[in-house]
């Protein structure tokens, strides 16, 4: 029987979570105060979902430990790709 206990994040994982949270805050601030462009809102939402997924699943797990966290990570990545596409199209 395998253990499903959540392993704590490593130092690199904590750094990524901090950076993702910082980028999410910057995206929301850009949206709220500097122009209300859709790409800023999408980047804030995307990074927020990446933070949620990273906190729920960690970075070194071979199998997702929290299925909604996995879906949040995938959706956050897609939102970030959409934000980048809106920036350069």
CB-based contacts of 82: which residues, under 8 Å, 6+ apart? 39, 42, 46
How many structural domains does the chain have? 1
Alpha-carbon separation of residue 83 from 28, 60, 64, 66, 88 (angstroms):
13, 27, 26, 26, 9
> Is 66 among the domain residues?
yes
Containing structural domain, residue 52:
12-74
Residue 4 lies in a domain: no
Taking each helix axis from N to C end, the angle separating 67-88 and 38-57, rounded to the nearest 10 degrees, works out to 150
Q: Which residue has the tokens 């805050």?
A: 25
pLDDT of residue 45: 96
The pLDDT of residue 77 is 95
Is residue 89 in some structural domain?
no
In the prediction, which pLDDT does 7 show?
Answer: 67
For the chain (89 residues), the mean pLDDT of every run of 10, in chain order, is 60 88 95 91 95 82 76 94 93
Res 33: pLDDT: 93
* Global pTM exceeds 0.75: yes
């Amino acid at each position: 029987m395998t253990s499903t206990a959540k392993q704590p994040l490593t130092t690199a994982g904590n750094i990524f979570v901090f950076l993702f949270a910082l980028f999410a805050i910057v995206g929301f601030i850009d949206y709220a105060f500097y122009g209300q462009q859709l790409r800023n809102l999408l980047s804030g939402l995307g990074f927020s979902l990446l933070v949620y997924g990273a906190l729920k699943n960690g970075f070194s797990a071979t199998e997702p430990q929290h299925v909604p966290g996995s879906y949040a990570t995938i959706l956050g990545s897609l939102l970030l790709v959409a934000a980048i596409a809106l920036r350069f199209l």
